[in-house]
Copies of this chain bind each other. A is one copy, B any other.
Amino acid sequence: MVSAVTARKYYPKKKITMLKNVAHGVVPCGIPYMFSSLSCPEDNKLSTSPLAEKQIEVCCDAVVRIDRDEKAVHTESGSTYSYEKLILAVGADPVVPPIPGVNKDGIYSIHKDLEYLRKIIDETRQVKEVLIVGGGFIGIELADDISKMEGVNVSLVELLPRLLANSFDEEFSRMVEEKLKTQGVKIKTKTKAVEFLGEAAVTGVRLDNGEEIKVEKVILGIGAVPRTQLARDAGLDMGRSGGVWVDEYMRTSDPDIFAVGDCAAKRDFFTRKHAPVMLASTATAEARIAGANLYQLKVVRENKGTIAVYSTFIDGLGLGSAGLTEQNARQEGFEIAVGNAQGFDKHPKSIAGAQQTRVKLIFSRRSGILMGGQVAGGVSAGELINVIGLAIQQRISATELETFQMATHPCLTSAPTKYPIVLAAQDVREKM
């Protein structure tokens, strides 16, 4: 959708057609909140009406083959669409782990399909014991929202020693764990589901510690893999570690075919390795580049790479992460220095609703460049992480951050004397 809308802006006279294989899509980030926060699943429906307004044709059909010589795609229903330029935005498939019994009834992956999700939600409403497999963003947000459903008990198992382990350092993971535990979610980290029990329908799960727990529904939230079959069949190059290979302008190895979003390979901003980041915000940034550059390279993309910029919200706790975590940075071999700051998100702290805010910044020790940051606080943590994300994308130094001119207000931010991004930058300078 974003590719199409952007292409329309830059190329007003071109005929633009969007082929999609799901009749009613959903807002991806809203999926976990369809269980209880939103009053009905339809509230999260993705409308394609903005496309119609912009003279973009929308067809519901699945592309089964790309014919690069003919410059046409063939669909499931037998139609053929010719193209001058083609954008692949086909997304990813959820990983289904090879656990015995994983195909039993009542075990679901997440698909961005309103009808499919409505069915899961309706069924979940009728049970008491729900298991979530995976403690990443999808897993913890589902656990949060489902635990708010009347009479539903939620368990969560995660293979790694802590939740959100790829995006946050330990002290932040602990905060999420505590929040979810307070809501009654039973969390088992360092734990693996080894078998799903029951006849046709799942009735329990056996864990690697031998424990068996009763479950009536299971939701798998353990990641996804880029959908690349179409591109492979068409002979397009693949990235080294998954995803369709693209250049800085989102062009595949065929200059008339672009790829964006989860299906496209990404390189990390700092490590220059494959970045397994599947975020709507990353996808929209890529889509804007592709849409602009279809016929002419209008938007110069410097070789910046992907920054993982995430936020989430668990029962009043806003969390954000951008760039590398301390753990990731050390593992990748960066010599770093870490700054921390704590304060309140309003000031003075006696003002109504003031909440603790914590900021952690990770800098390259020698060059002084900001490489990552994490935030915990209230609602404003959502934009605070975007200040940090922008600073990373701008390759800002600790010194520049130290003298950052920011707006502050008692009801909206911490005090100017205690603005946590500035204080964390000051903290790190003492260590450098």
Contacts and interface: CB of A to CB of B under 8 A. Distances in A.
Interface of A: 1-2, 6, 9, 27, 29-30, 33, 37-39, 43-44, 279-285, 288-289, 292, 299-301, 306-307, 309-313, 318, 320-322, 347-348, 350-352, 378-387, 389-391, 393-394, 396, 399, 402-413, 415-417, 419, 422, 426, 429-430
Contacts of A350: 38-39, 43-44
Contacts of A393: 404-405
Given A30-B347, A348-B44, A393-B404, A412 B309 contact: no
Contact of A409 (B307, B312, B380, B430): B312
Given A9-B430, A386-B387, A405 B309 contact: yes
A348 B43 contact: yes
Contacts of A403: 285, 288-289, 299, 301
Contact of A413 (B311, B387, B406, B409): B311
A43 B350 CA distance: 6
A258 to B, nearest CB: 14
19 contacts: A1-B417, A29-B416, A30-B410, A38-B350, A38-B351, A39-B350, A280-B417, A281-B419, A285-B403, A289-B403, A299-B399, A318-B411, A380-B383, A381-B412, A385-B407, A386-B406, A389-B406, A393-B405, A394-B396
Given A27-B410, A301-B403, 20 more contacts: A29-B347, A29-B409, A29-B415, A37-B352, A37-B410, A38-B351, A280-B415, A281-B407, A282-B405, A284-B417, A284-B422, A299-B399, A299-B402, A307-B405, A310-B407, A311-B412, A320-B407, A380-B382, A386-B387, A394-B396
B426 A6 contact: yes
A266 B97 CA distance: 61
Contacts of A422: 284, 288
Nearest to A397: B300
A351 B30 contact: yes
Contacts of A426: 6, 9, 288
A214 B413 CA distance: 37
A29 B288 contact: no
B27 A347 contact: yes
B404 A390 contact: yes
A307 B33 CA distance: 39
Given A27-B415, A351-B30, A382 B407 contact: yes
Nearest to A31: B410
A348 B283 contact: no
Contacts of A380: 379-380, 382-383
B407 A386 contact: yes
Nearest to A352: B37
A370 B1 CA distance: 27
Given A313-B411, A393-B404, A30 B348 contact: yes
Nearest to A411: B313
A300 B126 CA distance: 63
B348 A306 contact: no
Contacts of A301: 403
Contacts of A391: 390
A381 B316 CA distance: 18
List 5 A-B pairs, minimum CB-CB distance, nearest first: A382-B412, A383-B383, A43-B350, A313-B411, A281-B416
A289 to B, nearest CB: 6
Contacts of A281: 405-408, 416, 419
Contacts of A383: 380, 382-384, 386-387, 412-413
Nearest to A430: B9
Contacts of A279: 416
A404 B108 CA distance: 34
Contact of A417 (B2, B378, B387): B2
A282 B408 CA distance: 10
Contacts of A307: 405
